[in-house]
Structure 1
Amino acid sequence: MISEQRPTARPHPDEVCRPARSRRRVGSRAATLAVAGSLAAAVTLAACTGETPSPAGASSPAGGSASAGTSRSDAGLVVDGAPAPLAALVRSVYTGGDLTHTASPTAAAALKARKAAGGSLKATAKVGSWMGTPVAVVTAGEDVTLAVGPTWKVVGGWWPSLGVAKPSLGSGPRWVLAIGSDARKGQPLERTRADVLQVIGIDGKGGGGVMGMARDLWVPLSTGGKGKINSAMVLGGPRAQVKTVTNVTGLPVEGYVVLGFTGFKKIVDDEGGIPIVIPKTVVASHAKNMVIRAGPQTLTGAQALAYARERKTLPDGDFGRSRHQGEVILAAAVKAKLAGPIAIPSALTSFSKVGRSNLTAEQILTFTAGLHQLSPLKVGRGVAKGAFGWAGQQSIVILGDQARSLFAQFRDGNLS
């Protein structure tokens, strides 16, 4: 487990993804980028830098076009890029309108005592889609409003300009399971082995963590009997995988996001690669001995996949692979975080084209945006390990005290 703690010097971009010991001079802003965006990266894998046009499904049945434009309220509020119904909703937020029926219970409660904005105000909206449901992020200065369509409602955000003391991003702690499927061409994405299992948590108080699960952990499966933890998805799909992880860790995982090899490579390549610093040269034996050299570079989709999957040439095997996966996630998080919350809708749109999830639009939007509220001194990461053993002819990892201690530490959503 590594606690992401750094001094305040501003980092060089290439330095952000160095291992903990060599990153001690990296600034606190970079720590926020690398860790606070971990779930966003796990969800989008660097798909957060492009701007995607508003999807066709973003039209509101309440009327108004979903095409980007400019809407002006009577109070002088300008919302660039919002369909008319969304602009009207944002106006209601800033002019003290009744949000009882146009906001989630938690968001409505947070905004109940807000102060109405005075004078003119300019906001920018980006609209995207999560598994077919319209989503939007609207920024105005330091304020962020999260909304879900097609009948637009506010589901969360933070509004310091309106005197709202705390962000509204759901109740913490919360956990989500990021799954990398090893499905090959023609195989079902959600019924093959889980090559990547990373639990992402936030405590709702500015802290969080990323916990890798060794895929060979020998555990009770939610589908019955015992097996390697990553076999749960083969037997019962990602819901069974989530339930198995929940049962083993004691963490009430909220849901999952799952992505396959092809989707991973496509997203990385479409977004121009993942800038990263590789601590030690790796020869990926499973990828025709592809060499990923040490030092700063930008990985292509194929290189990033090879680095995240290699284990046979690593001295600590599967544990090292889980560590590499964390490094890729953190490197992608830097790219995602640099784009800010306004890029979340396009990221969710990109992921929706190639991935799968059971999280609702409200859940993913509030969780992902919540990562931007994390403190760099209150986030850590670790890998659940164990001793090696055998079950019949299978090499396995036996759940031990180290893993149980890690699970217990993560019960508040914080690994720092």
Structure 2
Amino acid sequence: MILGRARPRPLAVNAAAASLAVAVALAACTGGDPAARQPSTAGAPPSSGAAPRVPSAPTPAPAVAGAPAALTALVERLYSGAELGRSATAATRKALEGRRPGGAAIPTGAEAKVGSWFGTPVAVVTAGEDVTLAVGPAWRLVGGWWPSLGVAAAVTGGGPRWVLAVGSDARRGQPLERSRADTLQVIGVDGKGGGGVMGIARDLWVPLSTGGKGKINSAMPVGGPEGQLATVRAATGLPIEGYAVIGFAGFIQLVDDQGGLKIVVPQTVDASHAHLVIQKGAQTLSGKEALAYARERKTLPDGDLGRSRHQGEVLLAAAVQAKLAGPGAIPAALTSFSKVGASDLSAEEMLTFAAALHRVNPTKVGRDVAGGPFGWAGSQSIVVLGDQARRLFASFDDGNLS
């Protein structure tokens, strides 16, 4: 989420299919069957007694299952203790300076999951409790954690960090990035295992980056997601890295691609706009049901504030589900989002942020909604930006709301 990024490109088909490293070493030759050393014909010159050395079959070099050859080679350099140079970020190199390589060049059972973030290959390599984060196509280590190498600290972009999640109100045929923001949620991590999800009431009355004052969600139709991000940054005072935008249809597809959303619904909700009833209790919601739960406001006693609270619950449930799936599920999730959403985050930023979310302790994640009293601006019903919201913004400056 940072300045000076190019606009996202259409998703390219990820050609980084699984491949194995080429065998590079021959096993040491051994003496064969003694009978094979006997003279083959009578009258042949006497044997010198030295056994001819018979080369054995090549032994394949260890490989990372599911990884392209170049990624396997990079992982081998990581575990062998070799100098990483420009093939790793500065933060990753620093964390690995004191690593203690083990016996194997590549740990047994190392496995790569490869995906794509708007055309850029991303990979998560797991080996026991070790996790390595890499970005292609010229593979580069961008983070991870390696207890087997004696590396205590995880590299996930540091902290605090924040990302703006935007749900676009775009309907069929309307531009995703030029419609009003139906959902505004700031997701934070403190880099120490904690985090927060802060909803922003879409009717919050604030100065707009596009000029004048208005409801906070009205910045996107004029200024696009960049204008929406600038407006939220100014209102909250938080240096939010960037945005991720998704529409209704994309949200449904994304949830369904992940097998539904496992969530505990605190109270039964009559999602009147979608003609659905979301029952109280633990359940798995389909994409359509999850969207209905996240968008309902008319039947809620606190209207838009209640809806923003539900949206935070959906995000937290998704984060818990992703944590349970393990870091190897990250590339597939990023690939799915790339097909239906938009973002100004680089592959490195998104991969490390997703990994940081994976490492968050759910008991150290707070949730709140930046709201305020209801008021009027001319004929418009608005939410007034007041002390409650300002206190919440200030409390989130460490990336943690717990």
TM-score (norm 1): 0.82
Correspondence 1:288-299 to 2 at 5 A: 289-299=275-285
**Aligned residue number for residue 227 of structure 1:** 214
Q: How far apart are 1:342 and its partner, in Å?
A: 0.6
> Unaligned 5+ residue runs, structure 2?
1-11, 26-59
Letter of the 1:194 counterpart: A
Q: 2:123 aligns with which of 122, 136, 142?
A: 136
Letter of the 1:236 counterpart: G
Q: Is the 8 A contact 1:276 1:299 kept in 2?
A: yes
Q: 1:164 aligns with which of 151, 156, 163?
A: 151
Percent identity at matched positions? Answer: 69
Q: 2:172 aligns with which of 178, 182, 185?
A: 185
Q: 1:110 aligns with which of 62, 79, 95?
A: 95
Residue 282 (str. 1) matches residue 232 (str. 2): no
Measure the CA separation in 2 of the matches of 1:340 and 1:354.
Answer: 23
Q: How far apart are 1:335 and its partner, in Å?
A: 2.3
**Aligned residue number for residue 269 of structure 1:** 256
Q: How far apart are 1:69 and its partner, in Å?
A: 3.5
Q: List per-residue Cα deviations over 1:214-237 (Å, max 9, x = no partner).
A: 110000011110000001111101
Residue 256 (str. 1) matches residue 243 (str. 2): yes
**Aligned residue number for residue 162 of structure 2:** 175
Measure the CA separation in 1 of the matches of 2:282 and 2:156.
Answer: 35
Measure the CA separation in 1 of the matches of 2:225 and 2:306.
Answer: 24
Letter of the 2:17 counterpart: S
Secondary structure of 2:86's partner? coil
Measure the CA separation in 2 of the matches of 1:126 and 1:325.
Answer: 29
Summarize the Cα distance change of 1:331–1:378 in structure 2 as closer, same or farther, 3 Å threshold.
closer
Q: List per-residue Cα deviations over 1:16-38 (Å, max 9, x = no partner).
A: xxxxxxxxxxxxxxxxxxxxxxx
Summarize the Cα distance change of 1:256–1:302 in structure 2 as closer, same or farther, 3 Å threshold.
same
Q: 1:155 aligns with which of 110, 134, 142?
A: 142
**Aligned residue number for residue 194 of structure 2:** 207
Q: Is the 8 A contact 1:198 1:210 kept in 2?
A: yes
Higher relative contact order (CA 8 A, sep 6+): 1
Residue 99 (str. 1) matches residue 84 (str. 2): yes
Measure the CA separation in 2 of the matches of 1:197 and 1:339.
Answer: 26
Q: 1:238 aligns with which of 207, 216, 225?
A: 225
Measure the CA separation in 1 of the matches of 2:151 and 2:345.
Answer: 27
Secondary structure of 1:314's partner? coil
Q: How far apart are 1:151 and its partner, in Å?
A: 0.3
Q: How far apart are 1:56 and its partner, in Å?
A: 4.3
Q: List per-residue Cα deviations over 1:346-369 (Å, max 9, x = no partner).
A: 110011000100000000000110
**Aligned residue number for residue 9 of structure 2:** none
**Aligned residue number for residue 63 of structure 2:** 78
Correspondence 1:329-408 to 2 at 5 A: 329-408=315-394
Secondary structure of 1:313's partner? coil
Q: Is the 8 A contact 1:114 1:164 kept in 2?
A: yes
Q: List per-residue Cα deviations over 1:294-325 (Å, max 9, x = no partner).
A: 22322222211111101011000011001111
Q: Is the 8 A contact 1:57 1:150 kept in 2?
A: no
Measure the CA separation in 1 of the matches of 2:206 and 2:363.
Answer: 33
Q: How far apart are 1:250 and its partner, in Å?
A: 0.5
TM-score (norm 2): 0.85
Q: How far apart are 1:334 and its partner, in Å?
A: 2.7
> Unaligned 5+ residue runs, structure 1?
1-54, 59-65
**Aligned residue number for residue 33 of structure 1:** none
Summarize the Cα distance change of 1:360–1:353 in structure 2 as closer, same or farther, 3 Å threshold.
same
Summarize the Cα distance change of 1:73–1:244 in structure 2 as closer, same or farther, 3 Å threshold.
farther
Letter of the 2:161 counterpart: R
Q: How far apart are 1:378 and its partner, in Å?
A: 2.9
Q: CA RMSD in A?
A: 1.7
Q: Is the 8 A contact 1:73 1:88 kept in 2?
A: no
Q: List per-residue Cα deviations over 1:373-410 (Å, max 9, x = no partner).
A: 22344321111110000011110000111111111111
More off after superposition, 263-272 vs 207-216: 263-272
Letter of the 1:353 counterpart: K
**Aligned residue number for residue 34 of structure 2:** none
Measure the CA separation in 1 of the matches of 2:393 and 2:344.
Answer: 23
Q: How far apart are 1:282 and its partner, in Å?
A: 1.5
Measure the CA separation in 2 of the matches of 1:360 and 1:173.
Answer: 18
More off after superposition, 235-244 vs 114-123: 114-123
**Aligned residue number for residue 306 of structure 2:** 320
Letter of the 2:287 counterpart: G
Secondary structure of 1:80's partner? coil
**Aligned residue number for residue 7 of structure 2:** none
